[in-house]
Structure 1
Amino acid sequence: MKLQSGITVVKNGQLVDGTGKAAVPNATVIVQDGRITYAGSAEAAPQTPPDARVIDAKGGTIMPGLVEAHFHATYFNIQELQDLDIKYPVEYVSMLTAVNAKLALECGYTAARSGGCLFNVDVWLKKAIEADLIAGPRLATSGREICSAGGLMDWNPEFRKIGMEGLVFIINGVEDARSAVRALVKDGIEWVKTYPTGDAASPDTNDHHTLCMNFDEMNAVVQTAHNHKLKVTGHCRATQGIKNALRAGYDCIEHGTFIDDEGLELLLKRDVPCVPALYFEKASILRGPEFGLPQSVIDGHQETLDGGTASALRILRAGGRIGLGGDYGFGWNPHGDYAREISFFVKDVGFTPLEAIMCATKTGAEIMGRSHEFGTVESGKLADLLIVDGDVLKDIALLEDRSRFIAVMQGGVIKAGQLTRTEHTWDNATKMG
């Protein structure tokens, strides 16, 4: 991915740097050859050349690009789970994925970690983005997922006589678990996504208190993945499934819905991040009826929402790390609504705006293993920036409104926002003088 050459100055806005520290009013950020060289008060900023490019933040907010920590690039606003593996061929899924990636970038998400992907498309999507062939967030890939036979993701009946290799590896036992990871190693993924527990979406056989993998299978996944320097995460709602994952050595927990004291202690001891992905639950409750979700499923989502909200706040207040993102790509929780997750954590969970932004930037970059490159606005890091027309600390919902984005930048290059709407971006930029 190319970096912007020359010097760019972003001024006339408050700096919310993503570290959780208080905002810096009247701040300046200086970018040279795609990297930040200064971020702080305008009064202390070093002088820059008179021909430097200048971006006026209009008294708004200068902050890190957002990180979607649970991104389903190949989910195409599906109506039901079966759509994922039997509705479209890989060729069309690939095209839909490119559209989703561009949309995520336009929504201010300059980076994303895959939470599961059809047909290994995200590996090739990442290559295309990094080669500047298409627009999209910097990616950490995961490819196909792993679930035990009869578990949450094993929904095709035997009489269909079709495999699910495009979506998920269905395993029976330790050897199958190892074989699945080895196939993913060959695919070139970075994160192994598993399904240790069920979900409210399957109330009859695999609800959110059900285990879908046993400890031996999970341990085999971790041992094999770590041997090949891959990380492991898992869809963990049930209390025992959370603890099984932490004891097996998982590197991240998705959801962590019904964590107990013992699970919290395990999580904190190893400093394992959790991505609760809660707005999906609220969307399922609010819009589920119009999409025909059964009342039993909606009731399960309500229980999941209540438990997940309490668990997420508890983890953060105990000193744990929370990443934000999750499960966008269903009809009732479509792509493009990603920042509703951030608003939900402020308005419904009880995070402060600074905490929520830190989780959606700094912690997301840490989960991706790239916090040394981006996630905060600090000297030496890539200039992956989001410049917003307005005070996001007073109104966090501004992050949901793409029309308020002055610029979305990757490596100093403006990829989206108001400044891309003119033929020559810098015709509207003020020259220093």
Structure 2
Amino acid sequence: MKLQPGTTIVKNGQLVDGTGRPAVPNAALIITDGIITYAGPAADAPPAATDARVIDAKGGTIMPGLIEAHIHLTYFNVSELQDLDIKYPVEYVTLQSGVNAKTALECGYTAARSGGCLHNIDVWMKKAIEEDMIPGPRLSASGREICGAGGLMDWNPDYRRIGMEGIVFIVNGPEQARTAVRKLVKDGIEWVKTYPTGDAASPDINDHHTLCMTFEEMHAVVATAHNHGLKVTGHCRATEGIRNALKAGYDAIEHGTFMDDECLDLLLKRNVPMCPGLGFELFSVQRGKEFGLSQRVLDGHQETLEAGAESCRKVLKAGGTLGLGGDYGFAWTPHGTYAQELTFFVDYVGFSPLDTIKCATLGGAKMMGREKEIGTLEKGKLADVLVVAGDVLKDISLLENRDNLMAVMQGGVVKAGTLVKPASL
């Protein structure tokens, strides 16, 4: 991904640097050849080159690019199970994914971590983005997922003989779990996504209190993945599933819904980050009925909403790492509405705007393992920057409207926004 040559100065705005520190009023951000060289009070800024490019924040907010910590680029207005695996051929899903990647960037998400995809699209999407073939967030690639037989993701009846391998490897025992990981190793992924537990979406046989993988299967996944330098994460709602994942050596937890004190201690001891993906639960409760979700499913989502919010409060209070995002791409959580998650965490979960932004920037960077490069506006980091009209600390919902994004920058290159015409890729 190319860097913007020369010097760019962003000024006349408050600086929210993503570290959680208080905002700096009347700040300046200096970018040299795509790298941040100064971020702080304008009065203390070093002299700039006479030919420097200037971006006027017009009294708004200068902040890091947002990071979607659990993205599904291959989900496109999913309203029923067939939308996830057999509705369209891989060629069309790839085109849909390109549209979703562009949308994410235009919404201010300059980086993203995959939470699983159909086929092997994310790996090649990452390559295309990095080579500036298509616009999109810097991507940590995942691929097809792993679930135990009869588990949450094993929905196609055996009599149809169509399998599930477009989206997930169904495993029975540790040997099959190892085999699945080895196939993913060959695909070139970074994250192995698994399903240790069920979900409210499947109330009859795999609800949010059930397990979908054995500890032995999970341990086999971790041992094989770590041997090849890959990281492992898992859809973990039930308490025992969270505990099993942490004891098996998982590198991240998705959701972490029903977290007890033992799980929290394990999470903190191993410094494992968590992406709750919690807004999905609220939007399912609010809009699910119009898309045909049953009352049992809605009740389950309400339960996971309340328990998940409490788990997030525990993790934040204890000093753990949270990334924000997750499961956008369903009909009731379409791509392009990602920033609803931030508003939700302020209004419903009770996080402060500063803490919420820290989770949505630095937290996501930590989940990607790239916190030394991105996630905050600090000297030496890549200039992935948002310039926002207005004060996001007073009204974080400003981030939901693309019209409020004056500039979306990756490596100092303006890729989207209303203030400056996007640079051609």
Q: Which category of TM-score, normalised to the shorter sequence, fits these structures?
A: over 0.9
Task: Please say if residues 120 and 187 of structure 2, whose CA atoms lie closer than 8 Å, have aligned partners that are also in contact.
Answer: yes
Determine helix, strand or coil for the equivalent of 2:60.
strand
Q: Which runs of 4+ in 1 moved over 6 A?
A: none
Q: Distance in 2 between matches of 1:398 and 1:308?
A: 25
Alpha-carbon contact 2:414-2:422 (below 8 Å) kept: no
Counterparts of 1:4-43 in structure 2, within 5 Å, are 4-43=4-43
| 1:67 corresponding residue in structure 2 | 67
1:2-54 deviation digits (Å, cap 9, x = unpaired) = 00000000000000000000000000000000000000000000011221100
After superposition, where does 1:5-404 map in structure 2 within 5 Å?
A: 5-404=5-404
Deviates more, 1:203-212 or 1:259-268: 259-268
Q: Could you state the TM-score of these two structures normalised by the residue count of structure 1?
A: 0.97
| Percent of matched pairs sharing the same residue | 72
Deviations 1:411-432 (A, max 9, x none): 00000001344899xxxxxxxx
* Aligned-partner Cα distance in 1 for 2:331–2:351: 27
SS in 2 for 1:312: helix
Contact 1:82 1:155 in 2 (8 A): no
Matches of 2:174 and 2:195, distance apart in 1: 15
1:253-302: per-residue Cα shift (whole Å, max 9, x none)? 00000000111111111111111111100110011010000110000000
Cα distance in 1, alignment partners of residues 390 and 351 from structure 2:
20
| Residue 405 of structure 2: aligned partner | 405
In structure 2, distance between residues paired with 1:356 and 1:116: 24
**Amino acid of the structure 2 residue aligned with 1:295:** Q
* Change in 2 beyond 3 A, CA 1:113/1:56: same
Partners of 2:276 and 2:345 lie apart in 1 by: 10
Counterparts in 2 of 1:423 and 1:15: CA distance versus 1, 3 Å:
closer
| 8 Å CA contact retained: 1:20, 1:354 | yes
Alignment partners' CA distance in 1, 2:369 and 2:265? 23
Output one character per residue of 1:345-377: Cα deviation in whole Å (capped at 9) or x when no partner. Answer: 111001100000000000100110111111000
CA-atom RMSD in angstroms:
1.0
Q: In structure 2, how many angstroms separate the alpha carbons of the residues matched to 1:246 and 1:158?
A: 32
Query: Displacement, 1:82?
Result: 2.2
* Equivalent-residue separation in structure 1 for 2:293 and 2:170 (angstroms): 25
Q: CA 1:302–1:422 in structure 2 vs 1: closer, same or farther (change >3 Å)?
A: closer
How many residues are matched?
Answer: 424
The answer to whether the 8 A contact 2:413-2:423 is kept is no
CA distance in structure 2 between the partners assigned to 1:53 and 1:141 by the alignment? 34
What is the SS of the residue equivalent to 1:58?
Answer: coil
SS at match of 2:371: coil
CA contact (8 A) 1:145 1:168 kept: yes
Secondary structure in structure 2 of the residue aligned to 1:38: strand
* SS of match in other structure, 2:243: helix
Q: Deviations over 1:132-188 (max 9, x none)?
A: 000000000111000000000000011111111110000000010000000000000
Mapped to 2, the partners of 1:420 and 1:281 lie a distance apart of: 36
Q: In structure 2, give the amino acid aligned to 1:288.
A: G
- The one-letter code matched in structure 2 to 1:157 is P
The gaps in structure 1 that reach 5 residues or longer are 425-433
Equivalent pair of 2:231/2:251 in contact (CA under 8 Å): yes
Is the 2:190–2:231 contact (alpha carbons within 8 Å) kept by the matching residues of 1?
A: yes
Q: For 2:383 and 2:413, how far apart are their aligned partners in 1?
A: 8
| Unpaired segments ≥5 residues, structure 2 | none
Residue in 2 that maps onto 1:429: none
CA deviation string 1:362-396 (max 9, x = no partner)? 01001101111110000000000001010000000
Once residues 26 and 81 of structure 2 are traced to their aligned partners in structure 1, the CA distance between those partners, rounded to angstroms, is: 48
Following the alignment from structure 1 to structure 2, what is the Cα–Cα distance between the partners of residues 86 and 248? 32
Give the secondary-structure state (helix, strand or coil) at the position aligned to 1:111: strand
Q: Distance in 2 between matches of 1:423 and 1:223?
A: 44
Secondary structure of 2:244's counterpart equals: helix
Partners of 1:83 and 1:131 lie apart in 2 by 30
**CA distance in 1: counterparts of 2:177 and 2:346, whole angstroms:** 39
Distance in 2 (alpha carbons) for counterparts of 1:275 and 1:313: 13
Partners of 1:52 and 1:77 lie apart in 2 by: 43
Q: Find the residue that maps to 1:69 and give its secondary structure.
A: strand
